[in-house]
């Protein structure tokens, strides 16, 4: 691999796969630590049933080969195997695939392939169907375009692509300052972390503003790291605050944070942000500062699982932060405008059969589920 963007994507997902793979796939509390496994895989069945309706084709031969791109722990792959002869799950994270292989109910017909290249590990015209959901949205657009071209290459003429991809974010309307008032109460938080370790912080977010916080306005809980009163890492984790949230109401938000790589005494600083508008500290809303000791572990032992880190009764100190430096990393969201996606396939002799509005990317995005029939066009990008 010689692609720093792809390395970044791989590192994030390797880490998530090694620490909390089921939650990383479906970020709902009940899936932390591999809990509610039956419901998790049932959701894959329901999702595939819906996907096949969009595909609207039922003359698939018994030896159909379906590829699940970004298969994670196999939620969609196993459900596809209930409809198609052979399924190949492809993923950039070996940690995700280890979990998928360990639970494979169809070892004869479902296999998992690790791929950390920007090409796909299949021969030309060797696949009947590629399915991918909640994956391309986490991949930078230049790489997604490359993968879409690869999908055209590997799918047989007459075969299908079924993929979900966000298009764009409608521009947020800045909330009035009087609405940007919140009380943040951490419910649990780690007190000790290893350098770079990821951890999960639950925070009760109460609307102390003068009106409801609407949906689709890119309102997130986020965090920074400070040490010695100075910002050490600005802009780390992000999680949407579910809306609408009326004044006086509280929503519990789970935020994944990544400890600084330098050992020492740090502060985890929690704040709300309306993306592309402002951090609420800049608008005078108090942040919450939590002390966290980052301690290097000796030897090559793996970092402890985030949720196993000691929890504390949090002493909340309230302050206002003013400095806004740059940086940060977490699970990213990306999109490619629908006009470009449709134009690309049409230019390459493929037929866009459907582009159905889709809510998998959350309320902040306009997103679509596309069904495409692969044409005879000879595309051989190498
Ligand atoms: C949110 S999970 C979705 C998993 C699965 N599609 C599902 O719906 O259950 C996203 C998956 O995409 C994988 N992924 C991210 N970038 C990838 C890439 N460039 N190539 C292959 N897989 C990738 C991640 O490792 C992760 O397992």
Listed by start position, the domains of the chain span 4-169+333-373, 177-319
Q: What local confidence, expressed as pLDDT, does residue 330 receive?
A: 62
Q: What local confidence, expressed as pLDDT, does residue 5 receive?
A: 87
In the reported structure, the alpha carbon of residue 25 is separated from the centroid of ligand 1 by a whole-number distance in angstroms of 8
Q: Which of 92, 113, 141 for mutating ligand 1's site (highest number of atoms within 8 Å of CB)? A: 92
Ligand 1 atom closest to residue 74's alpha carbon, by position in its atom list: 9
CATH number 3.90.480.20 given to 4-169+333-373? no
Q: Under CATH, domain 177-319 is a member of which superfamily?
A: Immunoglobulins (2.60.40.10)
Q: Is 174 helix (H, G, I), strand (E, B) or coil?
A: coil
Q: Are 112 and 75 in contact (CB under 8 A)?
A: no
- Residue-wise pLDDT for 276-330, tens only, equals 899 999 999 999 999 999 999 764 443 443 443 444 444 444 433 333 333 334 6
Ligand 1 atom closest to residue 26's alpha carbon, by position in its atom list: 1
Q: Are 306 and 189 in contact (CB under 8 A)?
A: no
Q: What local confidence, expressed as pLDDT, does residue 3 receive?
A: 82
In the reported structure, the alpha carbon of residue 230 is separated from the centroid of ligand 1 by a whole-number distance in angstroms of 36
**Rounded CA separation 305/89 (Å):** 26
By CB atoms closer than 10 A (0-12, 13-18, 19+), residue 246 is exposed
Residues of the chain with pLDDT under 70: 1-2, 298-330, 377-382
Give ligand 1 pocket residues (Cβ under 6 A): 9, 13, 25, 70-72, 75-76, 90-93, 96, 115, 133-135, 138-139
Q: Is 160 helix (H, G, I), strand (E, B) or coil?
A: strand
Q: Is 254 helix (H, G, I), strand (E, B) or coil?
A: strand
In the reported structure, the alpha carbon of residue 166 is separated from the centroid of ligand 1 by a whole-number distance in angstroms of 15
**Rounded CA separation 319/62 (Å):** 63
- Helical segments of the chain, H only: 4-19, 21-25, 37-55, 75-80, 94-102, 141-154, 338-347
């Amino acid at each position: 691999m010689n692609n720093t963007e792809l390395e970044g994507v791989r590192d994030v997902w390797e880490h998530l796969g090694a620490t909390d793979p089921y939650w990383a796939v479906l970020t709902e509390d009940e899936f932390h630590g591999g809990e509610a496994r039956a419901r998790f895989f049932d959701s894959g069945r329901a999702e595939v049933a819906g996907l096949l309706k969009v595909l609207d084709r039922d003359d698939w031969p018994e030896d159909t080969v379906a590829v699940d791109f970004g298969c994670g722990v196999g939620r969609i792959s196993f459900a596809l195997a209930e409809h198609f002869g052979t399924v190949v799950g492809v993923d950039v994270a070996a940690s995700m695939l280890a979990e998928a292989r360990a639970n494979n109910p169809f070892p004869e017909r479902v296999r998992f392939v690790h791929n950390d290249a920007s090409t796909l590990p299949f021969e030309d015209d060797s696949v009947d169907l590629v399915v991918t959901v909640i994956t391309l949205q986490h991949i930078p657009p230049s790489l997604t375009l490359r993968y879409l071209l690869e999908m055209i290459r590997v799918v047989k003429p007459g075969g299908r692509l079924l993929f979900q991809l966000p298009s764009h974010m409608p521009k947020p309307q800045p909330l009035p300052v009087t609405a940007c008032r919140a009380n943040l109460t951490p419910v649990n938080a780690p007190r000790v972390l290893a350098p770079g370790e990821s951890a999960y912080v639950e925070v009760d977010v109460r609307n102390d503003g003068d009106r409801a916080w609407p949906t689709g306005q890119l309102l997130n809980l986020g965090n920074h790291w400070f040490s010695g009163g100075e910002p050490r890492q600005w802009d780390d984790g992000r999680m949407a605050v579910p809306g609408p949230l009326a004044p006086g109401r509280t929503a519990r938000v789970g935020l994944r944070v990544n400890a600084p790589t330098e050992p020492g005494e740090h502060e985890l600083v929690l704040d709300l942000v309306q993306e592309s508008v402002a951090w609420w500290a800049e608008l005078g809303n108090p942040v919450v500062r939590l002390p966290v000791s980052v301690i290097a572990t000796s030897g090559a032992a793996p970092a402890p699982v985030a949720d196993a880190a000691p929890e504390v009764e949090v002493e909340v100190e309230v302050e206002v932060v003013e400095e806004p430096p740059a940086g940060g990393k977490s699970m990213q969201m990306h999109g490619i405008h629908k006009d470009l996606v449709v134009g690309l396939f049409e230019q390459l002799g493929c037929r866009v059969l459907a582009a159905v509005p889709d809510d998998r990317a959350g309320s902040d995005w306009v997103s679509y589920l596309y069904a495409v029939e692969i044409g005879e066009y000879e595309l051989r990008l190498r």
